[in-house]
Structure 1
Amino acid sequence: MPKVLISDSLSEAAVQIFRDRGVDVDFQPTLGKEPEKLKAIIADYDGLAVRSATKATAEIIAAADRLKVIGRAGIGVDNIDIAAASARGIVVMNTPFGNSITTAEHAIAMMFAVARQIPAANASTQAGKWEKARFLGSEITGKTLGLIGCGNIGSVVAARAIGLRMKVIAYDPFLSVDRARELGVEKIEEVDALLARADFVSLHLPKTEKSVNILSAERIAKMKPGARLINCARGGLVDEAAVAAALKSGALAGAGFDVFSVEPATSNPLFGCPNFVATPHLGAATREAQENVALQVAEQMAEYLMHGAISNAINAPSVTAEEAPILKPWIGLCEAVGGFAGQVTENAIKEIEIEYVGEVGELNLRPLTAALVAALLTPLVGEGSVNMVSAPLVARERGVKISETRKDAQGAYGSYVRLIVTTEAQTRSIAGTVFSDGKPRIVQIKGIGLESEPSKHMLYTTNSDTPGYIGALGQKLGALDVNIATFALGRADKGGEAIALIGVDEPIGPEMLAEIVALPQVIQAKALKF
């Protein structure tokens, strides 16, 4: 009988689901706050069910000799070392849609609380004061709500706000015009343009390298005078000290935060500021949401432990035991092709077309397409926000059309996969195949042939086909102390546009990339990670 440890507070109904499915359960809801005790006993369990308090670090995972699955009741998996789990063959699952409505409702509630100064008015009234003149509020009706991020949760907020007769504008680089029209929101191309117009600004995006401090001090200074700011997404998206200064100066009329850069937030520059409303990360804290995610994660983990079924996995494909050996190398290829396209795409995706050519077209394409779309969307929506199960739904929610085509063998490679991505700006393609060694190769980008095996760190450049480029790039990488592992080249025509895909031993940071882009031959450069 498999054994699961629940180290966070989960619904008792989830415990019963495990037992009903034949899984032994050890329910210790406070253990997650004691990492040393967790590390000492984790080797006795096949599954670990957590929420946000438990930190499944690399050290704890290294001690988990029997562990097969970690289930996160909720969407965020930043408390789980996914790389460490993957290296040990541990499946990481989450429940990406169980608390979307609850989180959206909390953002709306915070907006009302800030607009009418409800917490301060409540404290004043219960203290025996009657300060009607002090708490002059602001109507929400007719105001403009600016959403930074309009995915699963943001779209629910938009619908609620439109019902309140608000004008909704949204900044989301990957929100298509068609999807925006369907939601009834106006798409804004730049954050600064949104900030200049919005009476209320609400954040609904994951915390990624690109979104950290997206509301910097400079941007906060550009907000509409008297605006109000809501953050129920993730801590670290906002310069909290800058918001505090704006509240004290009166530049901002109010702010409501459910999340903070450091949690638990026992102190913060925002605490005590005028018309600042704070809650202790309650976005998903309703009975309904907690019940939903707890039951869902228990069902998923039990199905995996008892029957091998994988669903909502962050780091594993949903395939049967019989299909796995055949599909595994092609899934790896699809992840590489999709991951490449997702990292180089800068505009909203309208359509994805996948061509399966030759023998690969005879396989079960569902896990291949799911793996490709998940890898494509992950750089765009944030790690943990999409997986192989949810990828088609996330794509549909964003108005992305997906089509598959099976074709007979043709061209130089007997069997290959080609991805064609259409954005609002252009159409680009990338193709790859699996060689006899079972390893994926990228064999074509934008119609230009080359041959490259994906590696952990890579550099992709588009450059003018002029003499001296290879030497200049190599010299620049050498000066940056970056070692070249592989180097693949291709060009359309002599003297025209060329591409290079270089495997490197070290990650290329933003400052390094800026120096590479500054080379006179370089048209575009991207640092990639696989």
Structure 2
Amino acid sequence: MAPKVLVSDKLSETAVQIFRDRGIDVDFMPDLGKDKDKLAEIIGNYDGLAIRSATKVTPSLLEKADRLKVVGRAGIGTDNVDKDAASKKGVIVMNTPFGNMITTAEHAIAMMFAVARQLPEASASTHAGKWEKSKFMGVELTGKTLGVIGAGNIGGIVCDRARGLKMKVIAYDPFLSEEKAEKMGVEKVELEELLPRADFITLHVPLTDQTRNILSRENLEKTKKGVRVINCARGGLVDEEALADLLKSGHVAGAGFDVFSEEPAKENPLFNLPNVVCTPHLGASTTEAQENVALQVAEQMSNYLIDGAVENALNMPSMTAEEAKVMGPWVALSSHLGAFIGQMTDEPVKAINILYDGVVAEMNLAALNCSVIAGIMKKSNPDVNLVSAPVVAKERGIQISTTNQDKSGAFEGYIKVTVVTEKRERSVAGTVFSDGKPRFIQIKGINVDAEVGPHMLYTTNEDVPGIIGTLGGILGQAGANIANFTLGRASAGGEAIALLYLDEAPNDAALKALADTGKFRQIKPLVFDVV
């Protein structure tokens, strides 16, 4: 059955057509997002939900979204999506951080010009029939020092445009390397140095616990007298009350704000102050940007629903369509390894250790980790998936660690998963052969070569003659056909294991008959999700 997507906000017809062209069944209801009751009534019919800002994806909505796999936000902000609730539900949340980068950067530059030359006030005065030429004395941008807080995607574009305006650019960004700063033509500084040097300060960071109130009263008081402050990023980055006070005192010469701590902003300390330019969150509001993010979200959601590619996800590791093709067998293997060890483990898991060796060590390990964890968790929580598994593991206090190393064995690459409980450690390893099929290659340190099937039977025993005959005879009498039979042992006469790939699950009578022989220490039927 084709995936089904609901578009509940205003996206372009071109974006909607992208879903159709990819073979996705799409319902375009651009005003539905405003009707939360109607949306909740029908959301259970869809695999994907494409939105802008009108639709609110709340925990109560997600409770009814039993089929939902992905929410795509056409735009960068996802304040209208409860990402924690989505993660617990196993729903990927995507945004489109690149579609409106230029538009937002240009808005910041426009704000700088507007504040530097007092354009809105001068325009209003002239429209009123006044000719107050001497009142609106401005400043040039050329030669001024621009302090950029956050030199990522949008901040980087602002840096580039500002250099084109012959401004000196200094940037504070903990993630900006000296090499990258040099390549961008900017000076990397600490915030303490930026504040007293900058003639203009512009913010381009997300709102997090670390960035909230980054321009606090204390920091604003450290700025150069006559500074002008621009915020086209997120409300809450600047202490608006403190900024209003410093504007009134004359310490700050002007400000341009597109975002506010509370939106819609009906009232604000900055409103009606001289040389403060305010716009209603227009950073992404251009025809080009709105079209770009709509097309981008449709492409991303289609790529995920059709090919399994995860792009610009906020609650799980991204994996491009190209990576998905190459990694597909390894993702399946990591899931099978997790499922094997999860079904074998009855006591609470304390830690999961994952070793990647050879070619697989160069792949997207974050995505593979999620697959392993999901495989382990499925025994206790069948609804868990790659998105929700890490959340569940964290809630249970399970420690996750990974190691990657160069090729060290007989295989081009392999994955080894070890689970630690209060009582024991249990490990299993696997690889992908040239035919693209996952194989188990080691269980409890014993080498094997076992193809993975939907129904398998795992046994352990003392290495004595007659085990193969016993297994074959009892399973044959029960009508269970053996597709593949793998044996392994630690040493002659020591511990031995058998892993059987069966055409169907062994029935209770067969399992009891095997147990009654007294030859087996452990008998465990296993189930794997094999396509």
Specify if TM > 0.5.
yes
TM-superposed deviation, 1:289? 1.3
8 Å Cα contact 1:121/1:135 also seen in 2: yes
Q: Normalising by structure 1, report the TM-score.
A: 0.64
Q: Identify the residue that residue 46 of structure 1 maps to in structure 2.
A: 47
TM-superposed deviation, 1:367? 1.8
Mapped partners of 1:206, 1:3: distance in 2: 32
Q: Normalising by structure 2, report the TM-score.
A: 0.64
Shift of the 34–276 alpha-carbon distance from structure 1 to 2, 3 Å rule, reads: farther
Mapped partners of 2:188, 2:361: distance in 1: 37
TM-superposed deviation, 1:198? 0.4
Q: Identify the residue that residue 58 of structure 1 maps to in structure 2.
A: 59
Match of 2:358 among 343, 361, 366: 361
Query: What letter matches 2:145 in structure 1?
Result: T
Mapped partners of 2:215, 2:337: distance in 1: 40
**DSSP-derived class of the 2:98 partner:** coil
Q: Identify the residue that residue 200 of structure 1 maps to in structure 2.
A: 200
Within a 5 Å distance, the mapping from 1:57-456 to structure 2 comes to 57-189=58-190, 191-317=191-317, 318=319, 319=324, 322-328=329-335, 360-363=357-360, 365-368=362-365, 406-408=406-408
Identify the range of structure 1 (84-93 vs 61-70) with the bigger mean alpha-carbon deviation: 84-93
**DSSP-derived class of the 1:170 partner:** strand
Query: What letter matches 2:118 in structure 1?
Result: Q
Shift of the 368–192 alpha-carbon distance from structure 1 to 2, 3 Å rule, reads: same
Query: What letter matches 2:120 in structure 1?
Result: P
8 Å Cα contact 2:215/2:237 also seen in 1: yes
Shift of the 307–151 alpha-carbon distance from structure 1 to 2, 3 Å rule, reads: closer
Mapped partners of 2:368, 2:212: distance in 1: 27
8 Å Cα contact 2:334/2:368 also seen in 1: no
Mapped partners of 1:105, 1:207: distance in 2: 20
Shift of the 121–84 alpha-carbon distance from structure 1 to 2, 3 Å rule, reads: same
TM-superposed deviation, 1:357? 10
Mapped partners of 1:24, 1:122: distance in 2: 50
Shift of the 138–13 alpha-carbon distance from structure 1 to 2, 3 Å rule, reads: same
8 Å Cα contact 1:358/1:408 also seen in 2: no
User: Deviation per CA, 1:122-154, whole angstroms, max 9, x where unpaired?
Assistant: 111111111111111110000000011111111
Query: What letter matches 2:334 in structure 1?
Result: L
TM-superposed deviation, 1:438? 7.5
8 Å Cα contact 2:34/2:55 also seen in 1: yes
TM-superposed deviation, 1:115? 0.5
Shift of the 367–107 alpha-carbon distance from structure 1 to 2, 3 Å rule, reads: same
Mapped partners of 2:3, 2:134: distance in 1: 63
User: Deviation per CA, 1:25-57, whole angstroms, max 9, x where unpaired?
Assistant: 222333333433322332222211112232212
**DSSP-derived class of the 1:92 partner:** strand
Mapped partners of 1:330, 1:130: distance in 2: 77
8 Å Cα contact 1:416/1:434 also seen in 2: no
Identify the range of structure 1 (309-318 vs 164-173) with the bigger mean alpha-carbon deviation: 309-318
8 Å Cα contact 1:170/1:187 also seen in 2: yes
How many positions carry a matched residue from both structures? Answer: 368
Shift of the 302–123 alpha-carbon distance from structure 1 to 2, 3 Å rule, reads: same
Query: What letter matches 1:13 in structure 2?
Result: T
Mapped partners of 1:95, 1:35: distance in 2: 24
Identify the range of structure 1 (279-288 vs 313-322) with the bigger mean alpha-carbon deviation: 313-322
8 Å Cα contact 2:357/2:407 also seen in 1: no
Q: Flag structure 1 segments of 5+ consecutive residues without an equivalent.
A: 332-355, 373-386, 388-403, 418-431, 440-530
User: Deviation per CA, 1:371-425, whole angstroms, max 9, x where unpaired?
Assistant: 79xxxxxxxxxxxxxx9xxxxxxxxxxxxxxxx962416xxxx9889xxxxxxxx
Query: What letter matches 1:37 in structure 2?
Result: K
Query: What letter matches 1:248 in structure 2?
Result: K
Mapped partners of 2:286, 2:111: distance in 1: 15
User: Deviation per CA, 1:243-295, whole angstroms, max 9, x where unpaired?
Assistant: 11111221111100111111111211111111111111111111111111111
**DSSP-derived class of the 1:288 partner:** helix
Q: CA RMSD in A?
A: 3.0
**DSSP-derived class of the 2:267 partner:** coil
TM-superposed deviation, 1:218? 1.2
Q: Flag structure 2 segments of 5+ consecutive residues without an equivalent.
A: 339-352, 370-386, 388-403, 429-531
**DSSP-derived class of the 1:42 partner:** helix
Shift of the 328–131 alpha-carbon distance from structure 1 to 2, 3 Å rule, reads: farther
TM-superposed deviation, 1:358? 6.8
Shift of the 357–52 alpha-carbon distance from structure 1 to 2, 3 Å rule, reads: closer
Mapped partners of 2:260, 2:336: distance in 1: 41
Mapped partners of 1:170, 1:408: distance in 2: 44
Shift of the 369–27 alpha-carbon distance from structure 1 to 2, 3 Å rule, reads: closer
TM-superposed deviation, 1:78? 3.0
Mapped partners of 1:40, 1:357: distance in 2: 42
Mapped partners of 2:19, 2:164: distance in 1: 40
Q: Identify the residue that residue 498 of structure 1 maps to in structure 2.
A: none
8 Å Cα contact 1:232/1:283 also seen in 2: yes
8 Å Cα contact 2:18/2:298 also seen in 1: yes
Query: What letter matches 1:310 in structure 2?
Result: V
User: Deviation per CA, 1:82-103, whole angstroms, max 9, x where unpaired?
Assistant: 2222222222222221211111
